[in-house]
Amino acid sequence: MKNIFLDVLMVFPSGGDLYFTNFKHHLGSAYVITYLRGQGFNAEQFISDESCNVKECVKEIANFHPHIVGFTVYETNFMQCALISNGLKAYNSDIIIIFGGPTPSVQSKEVLEGVSSVDICVRREGEETLLELISNLSKTNFKLKKVDLFSIKGITFRKENKIIINPERNDLLSNKSIKNYIDKFPSPYLSKIIPISRAFPTGIITARGCNQNCTYCNCAVLSKKNIFFHSIERVIEELVYINENKKFSGPVPINDDSFTIVPTRAFKICESIIENDIKIPLTCTTRCDKITEDLLYLMKEAGFVSIGFSLESAVPRILRAIGKVNPPENMDSEQLEKEIEFIEKLKHMTSYAKKIGFNKVFVSIMIGLPGESIQDAQKTIDFINQLEIDFYTHNIFHIFRGTPIYQNYKRFGYNIKTMGDKNKILLKNDFPFDVYKIKLAPKCAGIQNDEVIDYDVLKILSLTPKRSERKPFFENIIINSNTLKPSIVKWIQKNQAINGAIIHIYSDKFKYLKFHEKNEITLYNEFSPTSFYESYFWDNSTDTLILKAGRMALYNEEFGLPIKSKDTHLVFEDYEKGANNMQYLISIDRTPIDTTALYNILIKISKKENMYNHLLDSNPLPQFQQLCRWTKNQANCQTLETAIIENDDSIRICWFSDSIGKVGISISDIIQKLENLNKEREGKRICNLCQEKESCVKCFFPYPLTSEKYCEYKRNSFTNKSADLIYAFSVVKDFIFRPINPLEF
């Protein structure tokens, strides 16, 4: 139990992010914490690098004894925030739950209607609002019912079953005439709220807000088309401190909506970086019409290694429709010179950035924009293919509540629906044309990103262990069924790690296309604890067993990594012939011949003088679905890292195991059942008399071997070292064969 008592604890669950899946620092939360501490309140950020399920997370948060728990909420992490919030309220109803961030800022009424555990939503900038709120609460010993919430601007709350939306606070707007007004909010780095080691990937900001007219974006909505700047001196002071204490390897992102929105200011910042001898790699995104060659060159000299430009569309008429360059009101005007100039300048600036040595230059586009036809979208892809860039992000247009396009989306032929009757926060819009018919350009970051996902899924499907010990929840759930029932999602809520992986396997492509959308709605409507949901289907068009990602069916093209599987004895026949393309293959033991083939290879490796060098010098081995039975203690039945749910709701802990229960069974009952099974198997096998008993994993389900044959193999030879080394060597394999996602940069 932590001996800590907090006024407020800020919580930021990541939203299924591929690389940062636990509870990290958030720049906006850090500003709030820094400001509250400066006013005498005890505030912290909840940080955890360990995976946990909702129940364990609630316990960890409760150990801080917070009066208030504040969540930073986006659409991407809304479900996780809601589940943790509900758990906290059930654990201790006196804890005051506050939701803030982009989603509650524009959907505060919907949040309070949909999540009964949330007491208050803070809209837009949070520092002053939270300060006033906490100041008032502290006077009543944090008794929410005793506080007059009607007087606090910028919040939405409940009162006698009614939802009250107070007027906006507008502190930043009211003080817009004060130069560098936001300098009053201390730096999270200089105040040591965010450790320097987390400058990558957390980043910094030099300004808040956006003053552009884009109809699709909520950045300008949240700031009411205003930008508020830190002084250049403050920016440099922060960068100097990071530079003097840097303990990270990646570049520091400048998270402004557009770093060079005022080119002269960006120029002065870069000059000051050079003058102060700051040697930090930096990244940013910006607009091509707010930058010059001279500024771009100076940015390179100041340490910028990566730069992104927002394009959205290469069709001038579409740029006008979305307000990218000019306000969209003048749609009837045929004069699109500025839009044409914008497109040409983007082409020039990306080329120049590569010419002067930027490591990564990228562009973002959107498909399915207002007024866009399939021909328009293809023109954008054709334009992307002409650019000298490292990659581009291929985004599918998503309509956010609160944006100008949301106000009149029907005019452009869109339909919007919620993800069910329970989850009305997450929206899904359709399009006037099939956006998946647009062929991705070769430099699409999504292609490489999806290959990373497929490689990681390959390892999950082969039950390759990451855990070293058992936890009271599963990291991964494999759904081996064409349908997803609400009862399964409810079970997952309790028994899976927050932001763990859900892998859904369909029997064929037709079943995927028929059921995927319905299953996805079920997952989100019932509030999954993770947004990492990947679907695959068996391709039955060839003799080879191939598992393909659902996105391949949507885009009607081959991208990603088709996951192949093959009988182990056939795998080693190919291996002995010199096959060197097995790194994306799963080897399966279907008959005793397969198991014997794997066993013999393990013995062969174990007899090598230097097993590690042997593996390093040999062709890559495949992923083995049943390698764990030959290890000392790395079996999934011991660590419970992955659960497999079948069509009849039965649960298995390896591909050939018996059912260990049905959906609805508790994790404690699963553990007890396995312990009972272990005692039964040990008794029948007379394990207590075996000389290998301390080093044997004692496989519960040694199929296709009998228990007698399995024990015979384990007694006669020592396979642990070679099997354990193959698992350990998978880290080296990851370094060599795991695809590189450009977004990791």
pLDDT digits (tens, 9 = 90+) for 376-423: 999 999 999 999 999 999 999 999 999 999 998 999 999 999 998 999
Q: Quote the CA–CA distance of 504 and 476 in Å, as a whole number.
A: 11
Mean pLDDT on 357-363: 97
Mean pLDDT on 500-524: 96
Q: Which residues contact 32 (CB under 8 A, 6 or more apart)?
A: 10, 43, 70, 100, 126, 127, 130
Between the two ends of the chain, the Cα-to-Cα distance in Å is: 38
pLDDT of residue 745: 44
Beta bridge partners of 536: 505, 549
Q: Quote the CA–CA distance of 245 and 265 in Å, as a whole number.
A: 26
* Structural contact between residues 518 and 526, judged by C-beta atoms closer than 8 angstroms: no
pLDDT of residue 450: 87
592 membership: H or E segment, kind and range: helix 592-606
pLDDT tens string 616-661: 888 888 999 999 999 888 899 999 999 999 999 999 999 999 999 9
pLDDT of residue 582: 85
Mean pLDDT on 307-336: 88
Tokens of 448: 């490489």
Hey, what long-range contacts does 171-176 have (CB within 8 A, 24 or more apart)?
171/125, 171/128, 172/125, 172/208, 172/209, 172/223, 172/226, 172/228, 173/224, 173/226, 176/226, 176/228
Q: Quote the CA–CA distance of 396 and 450 in Å, as a whole number.
A: 15
Q: What is the DSSP letter of 23?
A: B
Q: Quote the CA–CA distance of 529 and 340 in Å, as a whole number.
A: 45
pLDDT of residue 416: 94
Q: Quote the CA–CA distance of 327 and 213 in Å, as a whole number.
A: 6
Q: Look-up: residue for tokens 């060659």?
A: 293
pLDDT tens string 421-443: 999 999 999 998 999 999 899 99
Three-class SS state of 126: coil
* Structural contact between residues 377 and 440, judged by C-beta atoms closer than 8 angstroms: no
Per-residue burial over 454-488, b = 16 or more CB atoms within 10 Å of its CB, e = otherwise: bbbbbbbbbbbbeeeeebebbbbbbbbbbebbeeb
Cα dist from 737 to 371, 394, 580, 618, 635, whole Å = 42, 24, 12, 14, 24
Q: Quote the CA–CA distance of 681 and 367 in Å, as a whole number.
A: 57
pLDDT of residue 18: 47
> Has residue 225 got a pLDDT over 50?
yes
From 389, 399, 409, select the one nearest 307 (Cα to Cα).
389
> Has residue 605 got a pLDDT over 50?
yes
Q: Look-up: residue for tokens 């949909």?
A: 114
- pLDDT level of residue 740 (50, 70, 90 thresholds): low
pLDDT tens string 168-197: 999 999 999 999 999 999 999 999 999 999
> Has residue 21 got a pLDDT over 70?
no
Tokens of 306: 């990566």
The upper half-sphere exposure of residue 178, i.e. CA atoms within 13 Å in the direction of its Cβ, equals 10
Mean pLDDT value across the chain = 92
pLDDT tens string 263-289: 999 999 999 999 999 999 999 999 999
Q: How many CB atoms lie within 10 A of CB 334?
A: 6
Question: Helices 54-62 and 78-91: crossing angle, nearest 10°?
Answer: 60
Q: Quote the CA–CA distance of 504 and 586 in Å, as a whole number.
A: 17
> Has residue 679 got a pLDDT over 80?
yes
* Structural contact between residues 524 and 535, judged by C-beta atoms closer than 8 angstroms: no
Q: Quote the CA–CA distance of 360 and 357 in Å, as a whole number.
A: 9
Phi/psi region, residue 248 (left: phi>0; alpha: psi -120 to 50; beta: rest), is beta
Identify how many contiguous H helices and E strands the chain contains and give both numbers.
26, 25
Beta bridge partners of 155: 122
Q: Which residues contact 455 (CB under 8 A, 6 or more apart)?
A: 561, 584, 734, 737, 738, 739
pLDDT of residue 736: 61
pLDDT of residue 528: 96
From 207, 196, 301, select the one nearest 240 (Cα to Cα).
196
Q: What is the DSSP letter of 619?
A: P
Q: Alpha-carbon torsion 324, 327, 333, 336, what sign?
A: negative
* Structural contact between residues 223 and 108, judged by C-beta atoms closer than 8 angstroms: no
Q: Quote the CA–CA distance of 285 and 200 in Å, as a whole number.
A: 16
Q: What is the DSSP letter of 694?
A: T
Tokens of 195: 């450790």
279 membership: H or E segment, kind and range: none
Amino acid at 413: G
Q: Which residues contact 147 (CB under 8 A, 6 or more apart)?
A: 133, 136, 137, 140
Q: Quote the CA–CA distance of 450 and 395 in Å, as a whole number.
A: 14
* Structural contact between residues 567 and 588, judged by C-beta atoms closer than 8 angstroms: yes
Q: How many residues does the chain have?
A: 745
> Has residue 69 got a pLDDT over 50?
yes
pLDDT of residue 1: 41
DSSP letters spanning 537-572? EEETTSSSEEEEEHHHHHHTS--S--EEEEEHHHHH
Domains of the chain: 6-169 (3.40.50.280), 176-402 (3.20.20.70), 450-737 (no CATH)
